[in-house]
Chain A
């Protein structure tokens, strides 16, 4: 019998949670193995092409559940490869949220003040930059002007985009072939590999079992590189430490499937899922009103007609992010672009006499696509999502060769969530229908349920063992040596795009993981600079290290 492969630290998933941990542990001297279920594409592989089988479908998953659909990355680099790179910090009040459990959801140790130094580290590493009005696309400018017309403020959103390389092609969901989007393929992952971390694509982890030495055996299937429904092999690797970062739609499923072997899971594994309160409204702009009301002109007499042009979300309106407002009444509004397909099917016709999302009236609306403006809303939802029994493999029963599958999540929005959506819809309508600027309707939730591009909280940190699966250092309760560092660890909706917060939490979790590895005999240290070599920004986190490495 062949010896079973051994590693110090096995990481499941190579998105923000996985790549950040992989870099620090490898740089500190640990043997690190990363298993990623999706393929490995480089910049030149990213295609401007809607053809099924191009990079657009190879790296992107659309998992339809019961009442909630999840969109996310499925490739080396995870969400960072497909995301829109909007990187705001979470507002201060978010950390004091109580949600439906009636007490603080976040661990006492985490506040905006204690997370800011970690935000600084990630912002230096990617890097994240502020945007000027010269960087703002027509769509963002239109939304800003509409907000101003309605007496509101609007901000260019900080992003992880190198504007000197950006072509405003709006193909971000297919991966950036110009290296303008600062995905993990350009910083943490190459740095991790330079320190010896091994990344294996098309390896889908199914479950964990225990080893005699107090470590874990990780069971995986290898996946066909074209038809992801097919597995072409399987294997195991033993590790002293396991870090789960498969994404909030997959991490809890792996743990549920492991429960028979590992023993009971914390109650919160696969519960308290949040869709980050996400919602989309679609406006069809009256071009003449945009010119006359807002004074917009592209230089040739055209007011807008620019839905296709840009780089995802560039402008947000944050007037409703007011900590004095009650929970579920606080939200941000962000201009956004979704490509046709995803970005058209759920859009509804205002005042439709027939069906609102297909048919004659919809076809007429689609013919005005260049005048569409999409507004993305992030409210505070109620952590309503629950995962049912795991599918036979992975986190979904795949329908298509790539991209489309059916997953086990169910989501029934509570009155709180519905109220938040209603209130934010009314504000969007007020901004964009004012003085006849546009007609607006939210996307329908009747076709694929609610939807999120930012799944969160399905295996969350907290101080209360009954409502959190992880302690405040991201270790799985009752299962020492298993850590979770992806979006599933975030306690709840953030009212803003969560990638920077997920990353900051992953950075913050690393000192504790390094200590746990040392306790298990791994020769590893903590304290690597950012991937580009900067050490100055680390001074800010140093005061927290004794607490994070306590035994």
Chain B
């Protein structure tokens, strides 16, 4: 799969990772990890390859990732400005060492994503698309051949319990049925199998 691999700087990468982590949260990768909030003990969208997928040209998103990160940080700035404890006072301090969206708590990130993806928000289609691909990275590993992803222990497919393929890379389930009647048929069933 060809990838345009646009160069994202650390801040923009971190911003998009924080978004993906809000959709499918995961454990921090290391003690210094700020993008991943670490609200669950298992790997999430970031570990599953959300940034790799988003940077794949096939998504149609890869050329717009910087703009997504900038817009997300602008929304986070506004949220931050609105969240001053005293309405007449100064905004609460935020960590200047990380992008505004990364500086938000997991609960604040979640609140912002709820707002951005809600019916009626003018930009919702953009944020829904970003959420869709973040989710897809975890649930399907769509930047990888699925058989390879499973062999490599892809954390999303493993979390789902997605069964591995046969040796030839195809899926087959020889055992698939309880093999016995489990309900009465509708009394109007015809020989075609449909209702009369």
Task: Give, as a whole number of angstroms, the nearest-CB distance from A283 to chain B.
Answer: 16
Which of chain B's residues have a CB closer than 8 A to the CB of A128? 192-193
Once the chains bind, are B183 and A153 in contact (CB under 8 Å)? yes
Interface centre among A129, A158, A169, A354 (most CB of B within 10 A): A169
| Interface presence of B146 (CB below 8 A) | yes
Interface centre among A49, A170, A297, A315 (most CB of B within 10 A): A49
Taken together as a complex, chains A and B put the C-alpha atoms of A364 and B60 apart, in Å, by: 29
Once the chains bind, are A51 and B179 in contact (CB under 8 Å)? no
Task: Give, as a whole number of angstroms, the nearest-CB distance from A450 to chain B.
Answer: 12
B132-155 CB contacts (< 8 Å) to partner A? 132, 135-136, 138-147, 149
Select which of A123, A133, A364, A398 is within 8 A of B180 by beta carbon. A133
Once the chains bind, are A446 and B119 in contact (CB under 8 Å)? yes
A86-129 CB contacts (< 8 Å) to partner B? 88-89, 91-92, 119, 123, 128-129
A279-303 CB contacts (< 8 Å) to partner B? 294, 296-299
Once the chains bind, are B182 and A50 in contact (CB under 8 Å)? no
| Interface presence of B92 (CB below 8 A) | no
Once the chains bind, are B162 and A89 in contact (CB under 8 Å)? no
Taken together as a complex, chains A and B put the C-alpha atoms of A206 and B184 apart, in Å, by: 50
Once the chains bind, are B196 and A404 in contact (CB under 8 Å)? no
Taken together as a complex, chains A and B put the C-alpha atoms of A251 and B53 apart, in Å, by: 33
Select which of B1, B57, B129, B161 is within 8 A of A51 by beta carbon. B1
Which of chain B's residues have a CB closer than 8 A to the CB of A360? 25, 39-40
Select which of A50, A155, A294, A496 is within 8 A of B186 by beta carbon. A155
Which of chain B's residues have a CB closer than 8 A to the CB of A305? 161
Task: Give, as a whole number of angstroms, the nearest-CB distance from A116 to chain B.
Answer: 9
Closest to A297 in B: B178
How many interface residues does A have (CB within 8 Å)? 87
| Interface presence of A259 (CB below 8 A) | no
Once the chains bind, are B139 and A366 in contact (CB under 8 Å)? yes
A340 and B110 in contact, given A91-B195, A168-B176, A402-B58 (Cβ under 8 angstroms):
no
A130 and B172 in contact, given A50-B146, A359-B25, A446-B118 (Cβ under 8 angstroms):
no
Select which of B42, B144, B183 is within 8 A of A152 by beta carbon. B183
Select which of B125, B178, B186 is within 8 A of A318 by beta carbon. B186
A340 and B60 in contact, given A148-B184, A354-B110 (Cβ under 8 angstroms):
no
Per-position contact with B for A437-460: 1 when CB-CB < 8 Å, else 0? 000000000111000000000000
| Interface presence of B91 (CB below 8 A) | no
| Interface presence of A34 (CB below 8 A) | no
| Interface presence of A145 (CB below 8 A) | yes
Which of chain B's residues have a CB closer than 8 A to the CB of A309? 163, 173, 176
Taken together as a complex, chains A and B put the C-alpha atoms of A145 and B182 apart, in Å, by: 5
Which of chain B's residues have a CB closer than 8 A to the CB of A297? 178
How many interface residues does B have (CB within 8 Å)? 72
Per-position contact with B for A443-487: 1 when CB-CB < 8 Å, else 0? 000111000000000000000000000000000000000000000
Task: Give, as a whole number of angstroms, the nearest-CB distance from B1 to chain A.
Answer: 5
Which of chain B's residues have a CB closer than 8 A to the CB of A399? 60-61, 129
Taken together as a complex, chains A and B put the C-alpha atoms of A303 and B102 apart, in Å, by: 43
Closest to B110 in A: A359
| Interface presence of B187 (CB below 8 A) | yes
Of A134-142, A196-204, A213-221, which binds chain B? A134-142
Taken together as a complex, chains A and B put the C-alpha atoms of A496 and B125 apart, in Å, by: 31
**Contacts from A to B (Cβ < 8 Å):** 48-54, 57, 64, 88-89, 91-92, 119, 123, 128-131, 133-138, 141, 144-145, 147-148, 152-158, 167-171, 177, 229, 294, 296-299, 305-306, 308-310, 315, 317-319, 321, 339-341, 344-345, 354-355, 358-360, 362-364, 366-367, 369-370, 398-402, 404, 406, 446-448, 496
For the A-B complex with A88-B194, A369-B161 known, give 18 more contacts whose Cβ atoms are closer than 8 Å. A50-B141, A52-B58, A52-B142, A54-B145, A88-B195, A133-B180, A133-B182, A135-B177, A144-B182, A148-B184, A155-B186, A167-B170, A340-B160, A341-B142, A345-B135, A364-B40, A367-B42, A399-B60
